[in-house]
């Protein structure tokens, strides 16, 4: 229904063309990525202005995380350049990724936070896009971001068991049909939970508003989605989580079959890699290295940590650009052809 207006899984024996290209490219790109140069060109940022392309509208978790980076990253780049934000929402971040891949300047002064799910889109052949995810220069992520199942308190559903036994259908809000908020709910529905998904919201800010008005009942997302609306945290119940963590919430995987857990693992890429900062393909290696070094220092900085804590973003344990690339490769390589086919089919359903 559309709104108007990880672990090893197995070894694939049959690869879709896009996935075959991806895995072949992975081997060629890995050595280059590992040979990163020193940040000797960091001074080249002095007097410069960087443009940060954001793949979602203002107000949601992706935009909040990107603005957090824009505020703190200049302090760690020699020359303290200015960073300006350009929101470019559309297609669950794929519009921004396409722009960065095909049209953005490759001088290292244009960077981007397209979103969380966009690297899997061309690999899983979910939509017609014109970018290869391994072409990008991955700068880093401030850490993994767990996804929770949030329900309006008025539903009086406080446990996974009560959700699964609900006499009424629980309506989840989603972005595009193939992004994590939609896919988690659709996988759970296929696994026996009485859920349906309303896809088509442009960003998490819209979904949070719909949650408040009762247009929807629930959402699968991370804490950062409520950064601009902390009051909504008090108006919801968290009943499950996707990744094991220090939180006491039950794992969604405990209530699903092996088949549905394999599908869930594909969606968990977006949680395991957090919110990556990227540069366009073939950006100058010296500037990419400078950005990576600065990003790592930023993610461990006390002032960054204080602001990140306020908006639900991770800090202190950054994920390197190289590791983000590896997780993407491992996620796709581990999925069997049957799982990929099932995931594509489910992602195409509204």
Both structure tokens of 239: 């009943």
Task: Kindly list the strands in the beta sheet with 82-87, ordered across the sheet, starting from the edge strand earlier in the chain.
Answer: 82-87, 49-54, 110-113, 277-279, 137-141, 319-320
Q: Is the pLDDT reported for residue 33 higher than 60?
A: no
Q: Is the pLDDT reported for residue 37 higher than 70?
A: no
By percentage, how much of the chain surpasses pLDDT 70? 87
Q: What is the mean pLDDT of the chain?
A: 88
Q: What is the mean pLDDT of residues 212-239?
A: 95
Backbone angles phi, psi at 214, to 5 degrees: 90, 5
Q: Is the pLDDT reported for residue 217 higher than 80?
A: yes
Q: What is the mean pLDDT of residues 317-324?
A: 97
Please name the residue ranges forming H helices in 198-315: 204-213, 258-267, 269-272, 285-299, 302-311
Phi-psi sector, 247: left (phi>0), alpha (psi -120 to 50), beta: beta
| Predicted TM-score of the model (pTM) | 0.83
Residues of the chain with CATH 3.40.190.150: 17-144+273-347
Q: Residue 39: its pLDDT value, please? A: 39
CB-neighbour burial class of residue 303 (10 A; exposed 0-12, middle 13-18, buried 19+): exposed
- Of residues 42 and 182, more confidence is placed in 182
Q: Residue 279: its pLDDT value, please? A: 98
Q: Residue 208: its pLDDT value, please? A: 96
CB 331 within 8 A of CB 323: no
CATH number for the region 17-144+273-347 comes to 3.40.190.150
CB 143 within 8 A of CB 275: no
User: pLDDT tens-digit profile of 289-317?
Assistant: 999 999 999 999 999 999 999 999 999 99
The C-alpha atoms of residue 336 and residue 315 are separated, in whole angstroms, by 33
Would you say domain 148-269 falls under CATH 3.40.50.1000? no
Q: Residue 26: its pLDDT value, please? A: 52
CB 57 within 8 A of CB 201: no
User: pLDDT tens-digit profile of 83-107?
Assistant: 999 999 998 999 999 999 999 999 9
Q: Is the pLDDT reported for residue 22 higher than 80?
A: no
Q: What is the 3-state secondary structure (H, E, C) of 59-128?
A: CCHHHHHHHHHHHHHHHHCCCCCEEEEEECCCHHHHHHHHHHHHCCCCCCCEEEECCCCCCHHHHCCCCC
How many Cβ atoms are within 10 Å of 180's Cβ, its own excluded? 26
User: pLDDT tens-digit profile of 127-178?
Assistant: 668 999 999 999 999 999 999 999 999 999 999 999 999 999 999 999 999 9
Residues of the chain with CATH 3.40.190.10: 148-269
Q: Residue 14: its pLDDT value, please? A: 27
The C-alpha atoms of residue 228 and residue 309 are separated, in whole angstroms, by 13
Q: Is the alpha carbon torsion for 125, 131, 132, 133 positive or negative?
A: negative
Q: Residue 124: its pLDDT value, please? A: 76
Q: Residue 136: its pLDDT value, please? A: 98
Min mean pLDDT across 212-216, 265-269, 276-280 is at 265-269
Q: Residue 122: its pLDDT value, please? A: 86
């Amino acid at each position: 229904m559309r709104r108007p207006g990880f672990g090893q899984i197995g070894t694939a024996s049959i690869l879709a063309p896009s996935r075959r290209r991806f895995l072949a490219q992975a081997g060629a790109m890995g050595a280059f990525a590992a040979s990163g140069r020193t940040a000797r060109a960091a001074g080249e940022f002095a007097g410069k202005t960087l443009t940060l392309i954001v793949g979602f509208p203002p107000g949601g978790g992706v935009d909040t995380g990107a603005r957090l980076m824009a505020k703190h990253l200049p302090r760690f780049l020699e020359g303290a350049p200015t960073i300006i934000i350009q929101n470019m929402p559309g297609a669950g971040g794929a519009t921004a990724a396409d722009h960065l891949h095909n049209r953005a300047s490759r001088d290292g002064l244009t960077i981007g936070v397209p979103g969380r799910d966009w690297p899997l889109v061309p690999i899983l052949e979910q939509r017609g896009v014109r970018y290869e995810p391994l072409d990008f220069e991955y700068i880093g992520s401030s850490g993994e971001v767990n996804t929770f199942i949030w329900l309006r308190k008025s539903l009086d559903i406080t446990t996974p068991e009560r959700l699964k036994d609900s006499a009424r259908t629980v309506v989840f809000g989603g972005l595009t049909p193939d992004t994590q908020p939609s896919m988690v709910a659709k996988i759970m529905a296929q696994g026996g939970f009485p859920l349906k998904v309303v896809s088509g919201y442009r960003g998490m800010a819209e979904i949070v508003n719909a949650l408040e008005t009762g247009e929807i009942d629930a959402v699968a997302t991370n804490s950062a989605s409520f950064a601009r609306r902390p009051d909504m945290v008090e108006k919801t119940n968290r009943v499950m989580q996707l990744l094991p963590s220090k939180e006491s919430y039950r794992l969604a995987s405990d209530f699903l079959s092996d088949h549905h857990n394999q599908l869930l693992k594909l969606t968990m890429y977006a949680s395991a890699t957090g919110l990556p900062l990227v540069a366009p393909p073939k950006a100058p290696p010296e500037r990419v290295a400078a950005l990576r070094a600065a990003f790592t220092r930023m993610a461990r900085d006390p002032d960054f940590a204080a602001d990140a804590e306020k908006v639900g973003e991770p800090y202190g344990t950054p994920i390197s650009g190289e590791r983000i690339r590896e997780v993407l490769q491992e996620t796709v390589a581990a999925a069997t052809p049957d799982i990929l086919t099932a995931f594509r089919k489910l992602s195409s359903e509204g």
